[in-house]
Chains A and B, each alone.
Chain A
Amino acid sequence: MSVWLIDDDGVAHHLRDHLRPSFFVGGSVAELRRVCEWITRAHLPARLTRAERYDIFAHRNLVVLQVQVQIPGQFSMIVQRIASTFPALDFYNADISIAQFYFFEHNLFPLAYCDVLVDDTRAIVEIATDDSRWALEYRIPPLRGMFIQLEGGALNPNHGHRAPLEITYDDRTYVIEHHDRRAVIERVRDYLLRFDPDVIVSRWGDSFILPQLFDEARRYRVPLPFNRDPQCKPVTRPARSYFSYGRIIHKTMSHTLFGRWHIDLENSSLLDYGLDGAVEVARLTQQPMQQTVRVSTGTGISAMQVSTAYHKGYLIPFHKSEPEEFKSASALLTSDKGGLTYQPIVGLHFDVAELDFASMYPAIMARFNVSPETIHCRCCPNSRVPEIGYSICRRERGLVPETLAPLIEKRLAYKRRLKQAMSEQQKEFYRRRTSAHKWLLVTCFGYLGYKNARFGKIEAHEAVTAYGREVLLRAKDIVEARGFRVLHALTDSLWIRKKGTTEAEYERLAEEIARATNLPIELEGIYKWVAFLPSRVNPHAGVPNRYFGALPDGELKIRGIEARRGDTPEFIKNAQLELLAEIAQASTRAEFAARLPRCLEMVAARVDALRAGQVPLQDLAFTYRLSREPREYATNTLNAIVARELAGRGIKLDAGESIRYVVTDYKAAVPSDRARSTEFLDGSWSYDVERYTEIFLRAVETILTPLGVNVKMLQDWLAKELPVQPLPARIEHTPAREYLGPLFEFAIHRQTVSRIAAYPQSPRGGE
């Protein structure tokens, strides 16, 4: 198999190594004998041996057939052939990727610093590393990066956007005008050969740019060396849509390369940790980087559990389904519950402390040994999960806790460093690392309750929530016994207040709770004020997780309002953040009131800009994720109208894909005039001022509700203060600068932009 290494000078080396990955087949002796005979007759390149391996669900060693594949590239094919011929048998270790096998066998991981001994034929004789997945500080190899996108990168070319190709490297951006397609391909080839990047970051590379370039390269017979390894073709995976946690997700087709990475920012699950965080995830999960950015963090935590199981010699189930055990109705009523939520007390509260259990559910799994194989333990009948009474093992450390414990430790260590960090850059660095850990830890809880997850068991999931409820109630009891009022509590966090309490007293309270619950709890912060917002349906009722608050340094914590939603137009988001920044300076109710005139001035200025047609259309775009295919929409919602508009233009849209549009005339008689896709907005379209003003004022109401301001008051005030004076003058949209981390600065950093017209006879190297 091929192994790519980059040395200290940044030179890439293509090496070879041996690997003999094994999978296991379980069944009766007669069945396993039939499998052996069949493999021998089929002349598959595999060595067969009898083996004994531990099955954590059966709690004992099983006799299995070990199938050691002699050609790693044929591993999946051999598994598929045997599994389809003997579908009733159990298969183990059968869906581990070749790269993971290699990492597991050599205790390696992506981007590890290695010592390598190579012979004359470039075959690896020995490979080892001193680097550790758990190291807090580590060096990233020097990577050469190239960035590819179409001009106007954020617009989706799959939805009709067309523009010249932009290629950025060495601080220069080259814009290739597309007069002649063959010349464009030749240009791209030249840039790839000249710069030889280690990593290509793109926008819409997976779904549009690379497939287009490959098609044209084939048509014009121009070799396009996207792969560093000329023996291999890029691996293509088709697009697909699937349901996950009640949402439909769309994954576009993907193109991964050999010898270098391709990362498409529009087809990556980078959440809030960016590419820097993805490097940390790749190291921890031992998944190749190109795969890490394209799969969910759930797959990442599953890969970590697989690694633990592999090293312990456990059988790793393939296509597992662990159904929920039978239980009585009353047992189901008691056990089938989530975390506790105490509705917030609506209003503006001053001097509020927030106490958070650090990674509560993973910490419970680690601390109380919750794992699929430790639940309903026969050797520890007296060790019981609170409330639901399941027995839980105290003797053997479970697989899930063993996987999670070092991850929790590492996250806590980074959090401590984050608190001590001096510079903003350092803080951002640690924030990204802790965020990557947070997502891995969050998904590990969901995977524990998923019957098809390799190491999932619903009863283990129920045990975690039961411990969680017990812990939150104990914390509440302590807090109330010390005279604090609980304003809000949500699964693993408490918002409390008692007049005149100092930070040291809150810290002591947190220590007391940690001692009583056996779980770490932290003082997240003492807010100058927190506004818990009312429900839009019932103004008397609070809504969990919809609030904003200001810390003493003016930093804001915002949850559940428009500014946090991914579908809100930039104009609305920015307006809310601007207002929040203003009121964040207030510390008392009187100071709040004093800020109101300035807030109203800001509102007036924005309404003025809206009415004058000065807001760039891109800043008013809504983003919507399609829940079905365009033809399946029955009603004329704006989303449906735009989806149909795009479909009518021949654009294929799948459920789970996102569309962006601007409301052009909300009340238009002809549905297609009501909203327009951003990809098809030209100078002849303008936005619906009345509709956007309405949406804007509702967003303002969200922020000013704690001051008693509502939409009706704002409308009345504006009617007096702002006579309608449309001044049509459009200003250009300036996209926000995206921070990808120091490793990937090349993807946005541009010093020089050269425009190159790609004509058939154009001279080369003149740019």
Chain B
Amino acid sequence: MGRTLPTSTQLIREFEETWRPYLRALRKEDRDVVLQLFAMIRAQSAPIAYTSHPDPFQLFALAMLGGILKKVIHLEQVVGTLNTNQANWSDECDD
């Protein structure tokens, strides 16, 4: 049995493939950043497949934004924890 439409994994791979010359021309540190963005899309291949959106790029963009936001939230939590620890430490010093 052959599928008529490409799978979400194939769509993501094709999307990555179109950016190959761009990746090649990037500096190493910038290339790594783009690869991280691509990984954010791959991480959502299941929801992308399930949505069956006629324009998959909208989902890819959402996946990248979601991935970045996840990192921001994580950093906020880390910073929040550090701030709390520092405040506690200052309180202890004041005592």
Q: Are these two chains actual partners, yes or no? A: yes
Tell me the A residues contacting B by CB distance below 8 Å: 324, 329-330, 332-334, 336-338, 340-343, 446, 449-451, 456, 458, 461, 469, 473, 489, 535, 538-542
Question: Is B79 an interface position by the 8 A CB rule?
Answer: no
Question: B46, A336: Cβ atoms under 8 Å?
Answer: no
Question: B38, A541: Cβ atoms under 8 Å?
Answer: yes
Within 8 A of A (CB), among B1-41: 1, 3-5, 7, 9, 16, 35-36, 38-39
Question: A446, B52: Cβ atoms under 8 Å?
Answer: no
Interfacial chain B residues near A340, Cβ < 8 Å: 46, 49-50
Question: B9, A341: Cβ atoms under 8 Å?
Answer: yes
Q: Which single member of A338, A456, A539 contacts B3 (CB below 8 Å)?
A: A338
Complex Cα–Cα for A451 and B42 (A): 32
Question: A489, B46: Cβ atoms under 8 Å?
Answer: yes
Interfacial chain A residues near B49, Cβ < 8 Å: 337-338, 340-341
A-B pairs, top 8 by smallest CB distance, nearest first, are: A449-B1, A540-B39, A541-B39, A333-B52, A340-B46, A541-B42, A342-B46, A336-B5
Complex Cα–Cα for A538 and B33 (A): 11
Complex Cα–Cα for A447 and B24 (A): 43
Q: Which single member of B3, B39, B42, B45 contacts A336 (CB below 8 Å)?
A: B3
Q: Which single member of A333, A450, A461, A541 contacts B43 (CB below 8 Å)?
A: A541
Question: A538, B38: Cβ atoms under 8 Å?
Answer: yes
Complex Cα–Cα for A739 and B38 (A): 45
Closest residue of A by beta carbon distance from B9 = A341
Question: A338, B7: Cβ atoms under 8 Å?
Answer: yes
Q: Give B56 Cβ to nearest chain A Cβ, in Å.
A: 10
Question: A538, B1: Cβ atoms under 8 Å?
Answer: no
Interfacial chain A residues near B42, Cβ < 8 Å: 343, 535, 538, 541-542
Q: Which single member of B35, B50, B53, B54 contacts A538 (CB below 8 Å)?
A: B35
Closest residue of B by beta carbon distance from A489 = B46
Interfacial chain B residues near A341, Cβ < 8 Å: 9, 45-46, 49
Known contacts A449-B1, A458-B1, A538-B38: A333-B54 contact under CB 8 Å: yes
Question: A332, B39: Cβ atoms under 8 Å?
Answer: no
Complex Cα–Cα for A94 and B67 (A): 58
Interfacial chain A residues near B46, Cβ < 8 Å: 340-343, 489
23 contacts between A and B (CB under 8 A): A324-B4, A330-B52, A330-B54, A333-B52, A336-B4, A337-B5, A337-B7, A337-B50, A340-B50, A342-B45, A342-B46, A343-B42, A343-B43, A343-B45, A449-B1, A473-B50, A489-B46, A538-B42, A541-B35, A541-B38, A541-B42, A541-B43, A542-B43
Q: Give A277 Cβ to nearest chain B Cβ, in Å.
A: 25
Complex Cα–Cα for A613 and B3 (A): 48
Interfacial chain B residues near A489, Cβ < 8 Å: 46
Complex Cα–Cα for A540 and B35 (A): 7
Q: Which single member of A330, A450, A538 contacts B39 (CB below 8 Å)?
A: A538
How large, as a class, is the contact surface on chain B? 20 to 34
Complex Cα–Cα for A473 and B54 (A): 22
Q: Which single member of A332, A456, A540 contacts B4 (CB below 8 Å)?
A: A332
Closest residue of A by beta carbon distance from B4 = A336
Within 8 A of A (CB), among B72-93: none
Complex Cα–Cα for A762 and B77 (A): 89
Question: B1, A450: Cβ atoms under 8 Å?
Answer: yes
Known contacts A540-B39, A541-B43: A461-B5 contact under CB 8 Å: no
Closest residue of A by beta carbon distance from B37 = A540
Q: Give A90 Cβ to nearest chain B Cβ, in Å.
A: 23
Closest residue of B by beta carbon distance from A539 = B35
Q: Give A471 Cβ to nearest chain B Cβ, in Å.
A: 13
Complex Cα–Cα for A446 and B2 (A): 10
Interfacial chain B residues near A538, Cβ < 8 Å: 16, 35, 38-39, 42
Q: Give A284 Cβ to nearest chain B Cβ, in Å.
A: 23
Question: B52, A337: Cβ atoms under 8 Å?
Answer: yes
Complex Cα–Cα for A449 and B4 (A): 12
Interfacial chain A residues near B3, Cβ < 8 Å: 336, 338
Closest residue of B by beta carbon distance from A329 = B54
Complex Cα–Cα for A338 and B5 (A): 11
Interfacial chain B residues near A343, Cβ < 8 Å: 42-46
Closest residue of B by beta carbon distance from A452 = B1
Question: A461, B35: Cβ atoms under 8 Å?
Answer: no
Known contacts A330-B54, A333-B52, A538-B35: A461-B1 contact under CB 8 Å: yes
Q: Give B27 Cβ to nearest chain A Cβ, in Å.
A: 17
Question: A446, B50: Cβ atoms under 8 Å?
Answer: no
Q: Give B40 Cβ to nearest chain A Cβ, in Å.
A: 8
Q: Give B53 Cβ to nearest chain A Cβ, in Å.
A: 8
Complex Cα–Cα for A541 and B37 (A): 10
Known contacts A340-B50, A541-B39, A541-B42: A333-B5 contact under CB 8 Å: yes
Complex Cα–Cα for A540 and B42 (A): 10
Q: Give B51 Cβ to nearest chain A Cβ, in Å.
A: 9
Question: B9, A446: Cβ atoms under 8 Å?
Answer: no
Q: Give B5 Cβ to nearest chain A Cβ, in Å.
A: 5
Interfacial chain B residues near A446, Cβ < 8 Å: 1
Closest residue of B by beta carbon distance from A472 = B46
Interfacial chain A residues near B1, Cβ < 8 Å: 446, 449-451, 456, 458, 461
Interfacial chain A residues near B36, Cβ < 8 Å: 540
Q: Give B21 Cβ to nearest chain A Cβ, in Å.
A: 16
Complex Cα–Cα for A458 and B5 (A): 14
Closest residue of B by beta carbon distance from A534 = B39
Of B9, B39, B46, B52, chain A has the most CB atoms within 10 Å of the CB of: B46
Closest residue of A by beta carbon distance from B44 = A343
Closest residue of B by beta carbon distance from A490 = B46
Instruction: Beyond A329-B54, A337-B49, A542-B42, list 19 extra A-B contacts (CB 8 Å).
Output: A324-B4, A330-B52, A333-B52, A333-B53, A336-B3, A336-B4, A336-B5, A337-B52, A340-B49, A340-B50, A342-B45, A342-B46, A343-B42, A469-B50, A473-B50, A535-B42, A540-B36, A540-B39, A541-B43
